[in-house]
């Protein structure tokens, strides 16, 4: 398994707007400023000047300053969503991901832009892993009510990639490819075994070994035969450094058939295990199915928003202290029932009426829940990390529920 890691704004989607005097064209940030009017455009340009003059301590400070501009000039949900839907894919993007052999390559999106835009690309291009810097939430009247932030741009892109590589047990030295366009992609491109620049910024072009492309389809000859390279095709000449980094693996039809047999055997074992688990539940109603959550789930852009998932399943969040900041944040999520139950004081009716339980780790133990369920069937549950940033709890819940419902 290898990763193909892509930037989003300017790489997956065209960066159509560049305010005069700025160094960063974008798909969303600058078009939003233009939609908000001339005063907002001037303030947006001022944030670029401050960034270039090193007046922000980090990228998130720059993002926060931009968010305040959007609040000040009244960004509305309909304007924001219209910009997301009007974003155009770069040349060859859709064709490339249609041809990509997912048995060999796992696509990943890492961006300093909006999770809202990443979610669109995930759903339309069938991409599971996505990491964005900012997500906007609007109230029932269409006004920007809150946002979530995480440092996934510049050097931060490498952090999110490292987390995923560790989780998926990928060889960091050889088994991933990067595609980007901007100055903010330089750090991650330098670390990539193989890096591509589409309509690349001059600073990105200067990265040793970078391959410049005009369309995503130009990447195909550099990847495995599984992407459709003909047997006699000659790939473009690479630098010595790039040639050493590339790995080629040619599976015969026989090997592919063996893989399919292995996958089928694995599915059979999984089905048998599920059957045995169900038999066990029938014997002991108090037995609880525990759904795992990983570090990635907190950072990963969900394929579907939590608010939409909660329309499909009755979920209870259990174990938060009423005085905690997380309690008020989670309490505000519509359709999510939040119970401040502590150990030895759990109403089993709350649990038995739920389809799924989220439990704040260390507040309630597995045995406490099992005891509360002793007189009835228990729903599957997931224990959330107590130390996580409150802004990322929604990501984790949405990612876990999506897997549970759809996979």
* Residues 331, 222 within the same domain: no
Measured distance CA(163)–CA(27) in Å, rounded: 26
Q: Tell me the residue range of the domain where 356 lies.
A: 295-406
Q: Residue 16 domain-assigned?
A: yes
Q: Out of 123-132, 184-193, 319-328, 341-350, which region has the weakest mean confidence (pLDDT)?
A: 341-350
pLDDT tier for residue 273 given thresholds of 50, 70 and 90:
low
Q: Residue 151 domain-assigned?
A: yes
Share of the chain above pLDDT 70, in %: 78
**Which of 250, 270, 285 corresponds to the end of one domain?**
250
* Residues 300, 230 within the same domain: no
Q: Residue 289 domain-assigned?
A: no
DSSP state of 130: E
Residue 341's pLDDT is 59
Q: Residue 262 domain-assigned?
A: no
DSSP state of 114: B
**Dihedrals phi, psi of 7, to nearest 5 degrees:** -70, 170
Domain count, the chain: 2
Q: Residue 168 domain-assigned?
A: yes
User: β-strand 336-339 against 211-213: which pairing, if any?
Assistant: unpaired
The CATH number of residue 68's host domain is: 3.40.50.1000
* Residues 213, 83 within the same domain: yes
* Residues 373, 236 within the same domain: no
Q: Residue 188 domain-assigned?
A: yes
**Got the DSSP string for 285-318?**
TT--PBPP--HHHHHSPPSS-HHHHTTTS-EEEE
* Residues 333, 225 within the same domain: no
* Residues 312, 369 within the same domain: yes
* Residues 185, 68 within the same domain: yes
Average pLDDT over residues 236-251: 39
* Residues 349, 243 within the same domain: no
Q: What is the pTM of this model?
A: 0.72
* Residues 320, 235 within the same domain: no
Tokens 């030295």 label which residue?
173
* Residues 317, 209 within the same domain: no
SS3 state at 184: helix
Could you read off the pLDDT of 171-221 as tens digits, one per residue? Answer: 999 999 999 998 899 999 999 999 999 999 999 999 999 999 999 999 999
Describe the crossing of helices 38-52 and 29-36 by its angle, rounded to 10 degrees. Answer: 140
pLDDT tier for residue 54 given thresholds of 50, 70 and 90:
very high
* Residues 96, 212 within the same domain: yes
SS3 state at 170: coil
pLDDT tier for residue 85 given thresholds of 50, 70 and 90:
very high
Q: Residue 270 domain-assigned?
A: no
**Which of 250, 275, 304 corresponds to the end of one domain?**
250
* Residues 223, 112 within the same domain: yes
Average pLDDT over residues 41-70: 94
The CATH number of residue 377's host domain is: 3.40.50
DSSP state of 241: H
Residue 188's pLDDT is 93
Share of the chain above pLDDT 90, in %: 48
**Which of 250, 282, 312 corresponds to the end of one domain?**
250
Q: Residue 241 domain-assigned?
A: yes
Average pLDDT over residues 56-79: 94
Could you read off the pLDDT of 149-177 as tens digits, one per residue? Answer: 888 777 878 888 888 999 899 999 999 99
What's the whole-number average pLDDT of the chain?
Answer: 82
Measured distance CA(108)–CA(128) in Å, rounded: 7
């Amino acid at each position: 398994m290898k990763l193909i890691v892509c930037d989003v704004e300017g790489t997956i989607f065209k960066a159509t707007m560049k305010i005069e005097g700025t160094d960063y064209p974008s798909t969303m940030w600058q078009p939003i400023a233009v939609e908000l009017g001339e005063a907002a455009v001037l303030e947006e340009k001022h944030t670029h000047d401050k960034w270039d003059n090193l007046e922000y301590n980090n990228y998130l400070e720059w993002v926060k300053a931009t968010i305040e501009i959007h609040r000040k000039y009244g960004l509305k949900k309909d304007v924001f969503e219209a910009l997301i839907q009007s974003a155009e894919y770069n040349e060859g993007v859709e064709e490339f991901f249609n041809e990509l052999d997912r048995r060999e390559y796992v696509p990943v999106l890492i961006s300093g832009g909006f999770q809202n835009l990443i979610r669109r690309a995930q759903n339309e291009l069938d991409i599971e892993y996505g990491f964005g810097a900012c997500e906007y939430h609007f109230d029932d009247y269409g006004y920007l009510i809150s946002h979530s932030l995480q440092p996934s741009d510049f050097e931060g892109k490498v952090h999110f990639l490292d987390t995923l590589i560790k989780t998926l047990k990928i060889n960091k030295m050889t088994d991933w490819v990067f595609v980007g366009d901007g100055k903010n992609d330089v750090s991650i491109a330098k670390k990539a075994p193989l890096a591509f620049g589409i309509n690349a910024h001059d600073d990105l072009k200067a990265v040793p070994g970078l391959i410049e492309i005009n369309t995503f389809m130009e990447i195909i000859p550099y990847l495995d035969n599984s992407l459709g390279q003909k047997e006699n095709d000659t790939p473009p000449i690479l630098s010595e450094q790039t040639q050493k980094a590339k790995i080629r693996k040619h599976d015969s039809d026989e090997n592919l058939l063996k893989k399919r047999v292995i996958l089928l055997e694995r599915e059979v074992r999984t089905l048998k295990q599920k059957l045995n688990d169900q038999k066990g539940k029938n014997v002991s109603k108090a037995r609880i199915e525990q759904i795992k959550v990983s570090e990635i789930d907190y950072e990963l852009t969900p394929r579907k928003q939590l608010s939409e998932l909660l329309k499909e399943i009755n979920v209870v969040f259990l174990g938060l202290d009423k005085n905690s900041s997380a309690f008020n944040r989670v309490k505000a999520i519509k359709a999510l029932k939040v119970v401040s139950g502590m150990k030895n004081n759990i109403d089993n009716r709350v649990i038995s009426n739920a389809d799924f339980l989220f439990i704040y780790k260390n507040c309630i133990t597995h045995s406490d829940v099992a005891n509360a369920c002793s007189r009835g069937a228990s729903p599957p549950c997931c224990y959330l990390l107590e130390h996580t940033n409150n802004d990322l709890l929604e990501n984790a819940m949405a990612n876990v529920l999506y897997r549970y419902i759809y996979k």
